[in-house]
Chain A
Amino acid sequence: MKKLLKRYRVFLIVLGAMLILTIVNVELGVKAFSVTGYSLKEMILVIPPIFVLLGLLDIWVPRETMIKYMGEGSGLKGIILAIFIGSAAAGPLYGAFPIAAVFMKKGVKFSNIMIFIGAWSTTKIPMFLFEVASMGTIFAVTRLLIDIPGIIIIAFILSAVMTDDEVKKLYENAEHFDD
Chain B
Amino acid sequence: MALKKAWKAFENIMPEFLVVILLVGLLLAIMNPEMISSIIGDKSGWFGVILAAVIGSITLIPGFVAFPMTALLLDGGAGYMQIGAFISALMMVGIVTMPVEIKYFGKKLTIIRNVLAFLFSFVVAFVIGMVMSL
Contacts and interface: CB of A to CB of B under 8 A. Distances in A.
Given A10-B15, A55-B5, A101-B104, A93 B91 contact: yes
**Chain A interface extent, by class:** 35 or more
Contact of B91 (A122, A146, A174): A122
A141 B63 CA distance: 16
Interface in B43-60: 60
A178 B11 CA distance: 9
B2 A121 contact: no
B117 interface: yes
Nearest to B108: A166
A134 B70 contact: yes
Contacts of A100: 104-105
B109 A48 contact: no
Given A32-B26, A40-B21, A134-B68, A177 B92 contact: no
Interface in A29-62: 29, 31-40, 42-43, 47-48, 51-52, 54-56, 58-60
Given A92-B97, A98-B104, A177-B12, 8 more contacts: A8-B18, A47-B17, A97-B105, A121-B117, A122-B92, A154-B113, A157-B116, A170-B106
What 8 pairs between A and B have smallest CB-CB spacing?
Answer: A36-B25, A55-B2, A55-B6, A32-B29, A31-B29, A35-B25, A51-B6, A134-B67
Interface of A: 7-8, 10-11, 14-15, 18, 21, 28-29, 31-40, 42-43, 47-48, 51-52, 54-56, 58-60, 92-94, 97-98, 100-101, 114, 117-118, 121-122, 124, 126-127, 130-131, 133-135, 138-139, 142-143, 146-147, 150, 154, 157-158, 161-162, 166, 169-170, 173-174, 177-179
